[in-house]
A and B are shown apart, each in its own frame.
Chain A
Amino acid sequence: MLKNRIIPCLDVKNGRVVKGINFVDLKDAGDPVEQAKIYSDGGADEICFLDITASNENRDTIYNVVEKTSKKCFVPLTVGGGIRSVEDINKLLNCGADKVSINTAAVENSKVVIDSSKKFGSQCIVVAIDAKKNGDKWEVFTHGGRNNSGIDALEYAEQMEKNGAGELLVTSMDRDGTQVGYDIDLMSKISSKVNIPVIASGGVGNLDHLVDGIKFGKASAVLAASIFHYGKHSVKEAKDYLDSKGIPVRI
């Protein structure tokens, strides 16, 4: 039976983890490679890096991080943030990323998803949808949540599947950072609309939220950042909890 995945996400800026696990035995708490290794050793089903490096001069730091991580972690590694072109994707994959997550570029230029999924296969193309509720629908935001594209998130999800996305990483902007749980309505509506897997993101504050994301949000995988940071919960605890609630996970 296919298991639901738990994906810890690390925010990386200028090659350093911004928030992270605060373990005493960590030699260097800001080292993304070391943190990724702790997650994968702890049973993470995949690892996700979100590169939030703002300046272009430091963009290359992420390639270095990916290259080192992929030599130590033998679970899938997804990298997102700042990807503009097929060439950017090519570079990340060559450094050892298994998948890339595309956000703004997928909205601005549909060819990026179409061309990259043809060139590298849909399996490595994740489209990240940042959605915010407006009345009875959700709109897609770009540029790290700063710009409203006005595009309907459900229609967009369907279009991205057609364009060749292998998975959708759906983040509720209303919930992100609130720790009150995923936007279950958004997740389940998108998941029912498309036939590709949906990864739920944004708003996790406790382990029950992970359960809800899968059970009611119909997500194939759940992504979380802050609950795994500072040792609040380990990936193993999360898995044991999901297991105790009857959710199939890899233990």
Chain B
Amino acid sequence: MNVIIVDYKSGNISSVINSFKEVAKDKVTIEVTSDLNKIKSSDKVVLPGQGSFKSCVDALNKIKGLVDTLNEFAINNKKPLLGICVGLQMFADVGYEEIKTNGLGWISGKVSKINNQKGKFKLPHIGWNQINIVKDSKIFRNIENNSHMYFVHSYEFIPEDKNVISATTDYSSNIVCSVEKENIFGTQFHPEKSDKFGLKIIDNFINL
């Protein structure tokens, strides 16, 4: 089996690569690429994302055919895909960071700034927060409810269909921090930086 981490030249993905390689050991091949043919033929895809919603979408679009290839992979062929942080946010129809920008539109909804209640809550939401698991998700196998995960973000994904939400976290309000829709998985937090439990989530995804 092989897992591809999509390298679309946006942000720092070395921690994602290190964590997947640590979990995969020699059993699974982890490849970091934006090669369309390799993505097409891979078993699973990881879509990381750092920086702003707009900068990530722009970077995706810069690589000719990448969005189409990802659509084919996740929507037509229904193969497992994991979005991390802005990678998850891009599942939305639209994001409002910097300027209104269209996302991939895989899960209906929008990405908007966390309501900091007039400065009561600091942004970015940085640090370890507990996740409240609201539905059985395959990537949460053997993850206890209220486990701590590492977050860094100022924007939140608000999906229209609440049934896709697999976990929330409490920061100013109940923020969506994980989604599962059929073969599409996403975490707002960073499993690659969330120590043992984060690595377990990565392990669960690899072993789907």
Give the B-binding residues of A (Cβ under 8 A): 1-5, 40, 45, 70-71, 74-76, 93-98, 119-124, 166-167, 195-197, 220-221, 250
Closest residue on chain A to residue B17 by CB atoms = A96
A2 touches B15 (CB 8 A): no
Find out whether the CB atom of B119 lies under 8 angstroms from the CB atom of A195: yes
Interface residues of B in 104-163 (CB under 8 A from A): 116, 119, 122-130, 148, 150-154
B199 touches A74 (CB 8 A): yes
In the complex, given contacts A2-B151, A74-B19, A98-B193, what are 6 additional A-B residue pairs having Cβ atoms less than 8 angstroms apart? Answer: A1-B129, A74-B194, A74-B198, A93-B14, A123-B153, A197-B127
Residues A221 and B18 in contact, CB atoms below 8 Å apart: no
Please give the distance in Å from B189's CB to the nearest CB on chain A.
Answer: 12
Beta-carbon contact of B195 and A74 below 8 Å: yes
User: Any chain A CB within 8 A of the CB of B22?
Assistant: yes
Report whether A5 and B195 are in contact in the complex, using a CB–CB cutoff of 8 Å.
no
Chain B contacts with A in 14-28, Cβ cutoff 8 A: 14-15, 18-19, 21-22
By the criterion CB–CB under 8 Å, are A45 and B127 in contact? yes
Q: Is B123's CB under 8 angstroms from A196's CB?
A: yes
- Report the separation of the CA atoms of residues A140 and B50 in the bound assembly, to the nearest whole angstrom: 30
Using Cβ atoms and an 8 Å threshold, which residues of chain B touch A45? 127-128
| Whole-angstrom distance between the Cβ of A169 and the nearest chain B Cβ | 12
CB–CB B12/A98 < 8 A: yes
Q: Which residue of A lies closest to B199 (CB)?
A: A74
Instruction: For chain B, give the interface size range.
Output: 35 or more
Q: How far is the CA of A74 from the CA of B128 in the complex (A)?
A: 13
Q: Which of A5, A123, A124, A166 has the most B CB atoms < 10 Å from its CB?
A: A123
- Asked if B180 is at the interface of the complex by the 8 Å CB criterion, the answer is no
In whole angstroms, what is the CA distance A95 to B18 when docked? 10
* B125 proximity list for chain A (CB < 8 A): 2
Which B residues lie within 8 Å of A4 (CB)?
127
Q: Is the CB of B22 within 8 A of A3?
A: no
Q: How many Å lie between the Cα of A87 and that of B122 in the bound state?
A: 29
Contacts of A221 in B (CB 8 A): 127
* Partner of B15 from A40, A98, A197 at Cβ < 8 Å: A98
- Minimum CB–CB distance from A126 to chain B (whole Å) comes to 10
Task: Report the nearest B residue to A95, measured CB to CB.
Answer: B14
Indicate if the CB atoms of A2 and B124 lie closer than 8 Å. Answer: no
Contact of A166 among B116, B124, B170 (CB under 8 A): B124
Query: What are 6 A-B interface contacts by the 8 Å CB criterion?
Result: A74-B194, A119-B51, A120-B50, A167-B126, A197-B127, A250-B128
Q: Are B50 and A124 in contact (CB under 8 A)?
A: yes
Give A40 to B198 CA distance when docked, in angstroms: 13
A2 touching B194, Cβ below 8 Å: no
Min CB gap B25→A, angstroms: 13
- Output the residue of B116, B126, B129 with the most chain A CB within 10 A: B126
How far, in angstroms, from A124 to B124 measured CA to CA in the complex? Answer: 11
Checking A5, A75, A197 against B122 with a beta-carbon cut-off of 8 angstroms, the contacting residue is A197
Q: Known: A74-B22, A76-B193, A93-B14. Contact between A123 and B128, CB under 8 A?
A: no
B125 to chain A, nearest CB (A): 7
Give the docked Cα–Cα distance between A94 and B198 (Å). 21
Whether B170 contacts A1 by the Cβ 8 Å rule is: yes
Give chain A residues whose Cβ lies under 8 Å from the Cβ of B12. 93-94, 97-98, 120, 124
B52 within 8 Å of A (CB atoms): yes
Residues of B within 8 A of A121 (CB): 11, 50-52, 55
